[in-house]
């Protein structure tokens, strides 16, 4: 089966600019996650979707980050405006259902804010 | 609140030697435990998971881990490593009802020729 697709792979922007990341999960996977992985740290959950509804966004900095999953398939994560501390790898993952153990991760988008 | 601690940030080991990567966790409720591997510029790949049952879990690429509830540990082991095992390894936990993962900070395994 095809994996979780993410784009772009790399992005460099200046602080205060905006940026968007795209994720296409594995076909049929109802649950989609966005994780932020800062260099030297483990991934941290930003937001979890079940179909097109938000299950958990408690660690999403909502003043600058937003995410949507229209039609319960693809998802977009946006940062506006970006800060230097947003430099990280943004990982998208999907699983069959909220009870599905073991995500499938995409390759991630490496964001550098200068 | 739950947490995961990976005590070793880097582990160098010679090829064909055994290796153990340590993971300890803290939780007041039952947990599910996972080990993921991340190769350079790639996403995370599931190595193995403990959900219930036998405390010795076997995964891909010859790795295994043992769940020890009394010591709140889930150490990853491989009897003989290869150069290709060089990567970053993450321990993670989740709990029933949330399935949100809490990750450790990772251990960088470097296999030397």
Q: Indicate whether A49 belongs to any domain.
A: yes
Determine, for residues B92 and A40 on separate chains, whether the beta-carbon distance falls below 8 Å. no
Which has the closest alpha carbon to B104: A79, A43, A18?
A: A43
Among chain B, residues having any CB pair with chain A shorter than 8 Å are: 4, 32, 34, 36, 41-46, 49, 51, 90, 92, 94, 98-101, 103-106
Q: What is the pLDDT of residue B5?
A: 96
The total of structural domains in chain B comes to 1
Determine, for residues A103 and B106 on separate chains, whether the beta-carbon distance falls below 8 Å. no
Determine, for residues A101 and B45 on separate chains, whether the beta-carbon distance falls below 8 Å. no
Q: What is the pLDDT of residue B104?
A: 95
Q: Indicate whether A107 belongs to any domain.
A: no
Please say if the pLDDT value at position A103 is more than 90.
no
**Domain extent for B106:** 3-112
Please say if the pLDDT value at position A102 is more than 90.
no
Give the bridge partners for A33, in sequence order: A48, A93
**Domain extent for A12:** 5-96
Question: Is the pLDDT higher at B20 or at A95?
Answer: B20
ω before B112 within 30° of 0 (cis)?
A: no
Q: Indicate whether A40 belongs to any domain.
A: yes
Q: What is the pLDDT of residue A99?
A: 55
Q: Indicate whether A101 belongs to any domain.
A: no
Please say if the pLDDT value at position B77 is more than 60.
yes
Q: Are A52 and A34 in contact (CB under 8 A)?
A: no
| CATH number of the domain bearing residue B13 | 2.60.40.10
Enumerate the residues of chain B whose CB falls inside 8 A of the CB of residue A110: 41
A57-66, B11-20, B34-43, B102-111, range with the lowest pLDDT: B34-43
Determine, for residues A101 and B49 on separate chains, whether the beta-carbon distance falls below 8 Å. yes
CA-CA distance, B5 to A76, in Å (whole number)? 31
Q: How many CB atoms lie within 10 A of CB A37?
A: 21
Cα A43 to Cα A80, B36, B93, distances in angstroms: 21, 11, 12
- Residue-wise pLDDT for A24-68, tens only, equals 999 988 899 999 999 888 999 999 998 889 999 999 999 999 999
Q: Indicate whether A23 belongs to any domain.
A: yes
Query: In which band, very low, low, confident or very high, does the pLDDT at B64 lie, cut at 50, 70 and 90?
Result: very high
The first and second tokens of residue B54, run together, are 């036998």
Cα Rg of chain A, angstroms: 13
Q: How many CB atoms lie within 10 A of CB B71?
A: 10
| CATH number of the domain bearing residue A33 | 2.60.40.10
Q: Say which of B34, B43, B51 has its CB closest to residue A91.
A: B43
The total of structural domains in chain A comes to 1
Q: Are B33 and B49 in contact (CB under 8 A)?
A: yes
């Amino acid at each position: 089966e095809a994996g979780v697709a993410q784009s772009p792979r790399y992005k460099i922007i200046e602080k205060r600019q905006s940026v968007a990341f795209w994720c296409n999960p594995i076909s049929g996977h109802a649950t989609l996650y966005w994780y932020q992985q800062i260099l030297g740290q483990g991934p941290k959950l930003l937001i979890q979707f079940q179909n097109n509804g938000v299950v958990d966004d408690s660690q999403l900095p909502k003043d600058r980050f937003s995410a949507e999953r229209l039609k319960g398939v693809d998802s977009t994560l946006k940062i506006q405006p970006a800060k230097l501390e947003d430099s990280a790898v943004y990982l998208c993952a999907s699983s069959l259902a909220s009870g599905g153990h073991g995500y499938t991760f995409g390759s991630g988008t490496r964001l550098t804010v200068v | 609140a739950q947490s995961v601690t990976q005590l070793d940030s880097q582990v160098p080991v010679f090829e064909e030697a055994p290796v153990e990567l340590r993971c300890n966790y803290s939780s007041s409720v039952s947990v599910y435990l996972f080990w993921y591997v991340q190769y350079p510029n790639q996403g995370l790949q599931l190595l193995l998971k403990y959900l219930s049952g036998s405390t010795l879990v076997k995964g891909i690429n010859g790795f295994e881990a043992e769940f020890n509830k009394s010591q709140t540990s889930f150490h990853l082991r491989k009897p003989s490593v290869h150069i290709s095992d060089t990567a970053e390894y993450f321990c993670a936990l989740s709990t029933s009802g949330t399935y949100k993962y809490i990750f450790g900070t990772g251990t960088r395994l470097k296999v030397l020729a």
